[in-house]
Structure 1
Amino acid sequence: MDLSEILIRPIQTEKADILREKNRTYEFHVRKDANKIDIAKAVESVFNVKVDSVHTVIRKGKAKRLGRFESQYPDRKRAYVTLHSGHKLDIFEGA
């Protein structure tokens, strides 16, 4: 698995904005088979920053229904990446 394939996309919500402002924590959707070490290496190599810690959460997909048929959205893995002091990601800053 290539390091650039681990990070799927950043998460930009109001809760993510609050975390980012309070304690330099950024949220990403990541591949389900990626572990914390791979996620930290991917963030460090892609953004040239120093990662302090990584926490991961698997969010269960919601059930959906169309008529009498039932299916489910896929599960997603989120990574909460905390950076060392003095480091920040410029992709989240408004232009």
Structure 2
Amino acid sequence: MISDYKLFDVLYTPHISEKSTLVLKKNNTIILKVAVKSNKNDIKQAVKKIFSVEIERVNTVLIKGKVKKRGKYNIRRNHWKKAYVQLKPGQNLDFINNVI
């Protein structure tokens, strides 16, 4: 069980892209950037408490950081995790009005 003061440590931002808007319209699924060490249960509880919505399932993907060339050095971007949160039918998520 995740404590209330760590809810905002799990969720970072919504991931906005062309694919995420298509998935939202088709499957009622939102895509969020989350903490790398968080698990599916933590993500589900955080979204449920913060936005007061019912969740059907949560899928997570760990995105490896890309290696980029910066002058003569190769640098690696940070790894990050995204979560596909599918809401139950009839549920809607409004980011602007639901934030505490």
Q: Normalising by the residue count of structure 1, what TM-score does the alignment of the two structures yield? A: 0.92
- Unpaired runs of 5+ residues, structure 1, are none
What is the CA distance between 1:91 and its match in structure 2?
A: 2.2
Identity fraction in percent: 36
Match of 1:9 in 2: 13
Q: 1: CA distance between counterparts of 2:29 and 2:94?
A: 13
Aligned residues: 92
The yes-or-no answer on 1:87 pairing with 2:98 is: no
What is the CA distance between 1:34 and its match in structure 2?
A: 0.3
Match of 2:45 in 1: 41
What is the CA distance between 1:71 and its match in structure 2?
A: 1.0
Partner AA of 1:65 in structure 2: K
Match of 2:77 in 1: 73
Q: Moved runs in structure 1, 4+ residues, more than 6 A?
A: none
What is the CA distance between 1:74 and its match in structure 2?
A: 0.4
Deviates more, 1:15-24 or 1:1-10: 1-10
Q: 1: CA distance between counterparts of 2:83 and 2:22?
A: 16
- Secondary structure of 1:49's counterpart equals coil
- Unpaired runs of 5+ residues, structure 2, are none
